[in-house]
Amino acid sequence: MFINASMRRAIGICALSCLLATAAIAEEPGGQVIGSFGEQPLELSISPDLSAATIIGSYGDAFFSGVQTEGDQETVFISLMLSGELPDPEELTLEIAFARDMGANWRGDRDGLTLELTDFSATDGLVSLSGTVTGNVSGGPDSETRPVTLSFDARLEQVN
């Protein structure tokens, strides 16, 4: 069988399209949160089972939780919730809890935190959410305030 240049090009485009489609299908919910809480560095994996998002027109609603349990470091739980008109949702809540220290729970909201979204988009049942949260959270056993900076890159299941 003779394959000319036009046919080779068409076959190549088809093969590339199939590879790109496979890569898109391979994406699954999850992601990463990296940053710091006071002087403590944080690197957490986002739990797909405890995360979801909705986009309706220009309105977005998202919630994700991350857990750090590596090595001898203390287990840390982080939850971030945002809701409102995009790209600057009105509601923002960040919660940080430490497993070893009961009462070492920290919370911040729109009053003390700034959110910068770089992506909040939906494709094929997944919502891509990335950005940075900076500011202060309050709590802990001594009701103190600590600085927090978190960058996140998440793929969340889209729910209606």
- Using CA atoms, how far apart are residues 83 and 69, in angstroms rounded to an integer? 28
The predicted model scores a pTM of 0.78
Q: Are 35 and 147 in contact (CB under 8 A)?
A: no
Q: Is residue 10 part of a domain?
A: no
Q: State residue 99's pLDDT score.
A: 80
Residue 54 belongs to domain spanning: 28-157
Q: Is residue 70 part of a domain?
A: yes
- Using CA atoms, how far apart are residues 143 and 23, in angstroms rounded to an integer? 46
Q: State residue 61's pLDDT score.
A: 95
Q: How far is CA 133 from the centre of its chain?
A: 11
Q: Are 125 and 158 in contact (CB under 8 A)?
A: yes
Q: State residue 73's pLDDT score.
A: 64
Domain count, the chain: 1
Q: State residue 24's pLDDT score.
A: 44
Give the residues of the chain that fall short of pLDDT 70. Answer: 1-26, 70-74, 102-103
